[in-house]
Amino acid sequence: MAKSKTLKIKVWGENACFTRPEMKVERVSYDVMTPSAARGILEAILWKPAISWRIERIDVLNEIRWQSVRRNELGSKIPFSNVTKAMKDGKGSLALYIEEERQQRAGLFLRDVAYVIHAHFSLSDRKGPADNIKKFEEMFERRVSKGQCHHFPVMGNREFPAFFAPADDGERPHPVDRDLGFILYDMEFGVWDENSSDYESARPRFFRARLESGSMVVPAWDSAEVLG
């Protein structure tokens, strides 16, 4: 399939939380940005149904450091049936009361992070006649250099903004070799359902990640290394 050249972008922020799925109540971040989070950042800057992003490599520029923060959080969500009932009756309280639903949760977050993401995109079967690779490559580079985005990209959670700029060729990763174990690659989504504005199913896929001289090479999505 036709794909773009490798595009590079530098991202950085004061904190980050790439939550481990096995520790998500009291969130614990992975040591590095996951390919899924990197894709989210690229999509915040440029995405159309016509393109799908693939991450090739993530360079970790700073030493991996941690910070623990405990916050009061809300323990529940509003049931859908309550909303429809209130819509029908035209009255009723849908508010959630924080005192009743409070949970104190700690988070183990990364601090002072900076990465260079190497990625490309390919055109999907939802492309239109006017869509071509060159056009989106140029759009992406233009947006990154002007600081334009659809919504502001984040480091895993929305309270941690991800600043971005074109990657400078002088950037060198913080040289560390480390086996990161199995980490989340991305979610495999089922068919888009117009009615609910959501995918019918979503399944996580993992891969064995390693930092070699500070770089994490991401295997191809369809390779044998990626486990569903």
Partner 1 sequence: MSAISNRYEFVYLFDVKDGNPNGDPDAGNMPRIDSETGHGLVTDVSLKRKVRNYVGITKRYEPPYDIYIKEKAVLIEAHEKAYKELGVDLEKDDKKRKGGDRVPEARSWMCKNFYDVRSFGAVMALKVNAGVVKGPVQLSFARSVDPVLQFEHSITRMAVATKEEAESQGGDNRTMGKKHTVPYGLYRSHGFISAFYAEDTGFTEEDLQLFWNSLTNMFDHDRSAARGEMSARRLIVFKHIGEGESARLGTHPAHKLFDTVTVHRKSDGPPRSYADYEVKIDEAAIEKLKGKIELLDLI
The rounded distance, in Å, linking the Cα atoms of 21 and 29 is 9
Does residue 3 belong to the site contacting partner 1 (CB under 8 A)?
Answer: no
Q: How far is the CB of 8 from partner 1 (least distance, A)?
A: 16
Determine the interface stretch with partner 1 among 25-33, 34-42, 118-126, 198-206 (rule: CB under 8 A).
198-206
Nearest C-alpha neighbor of 36 from the set 20, 25, 50? 20
CA 218 – CA 104 distance, rounded (Å): 35
Find the shortest distance in angstroms from Cβ 153 to partner 1: 10
Extract the tokens encoding 81. 């049936």
CA-wise closest residue to 54 among 186, 167, 151: 186
Cα separation, 70 vs 44, in Å, equals 28
Examine residue 149 and tell whether it contacts partner 1 (CB under 8 A).
yes
Choices 124-132, 152-160, 171-179, 209-217; region in contact with partner 1 by CB under 8 A: 152-160
Provide the binding-site residues for partner 1, judged by CB under 8 A.
14-15, 67-74, 77-85, 87, 92-100, 104, 106, 143, 146-152, 154, 158-161, 163-165, 187, 195-199, 201-202
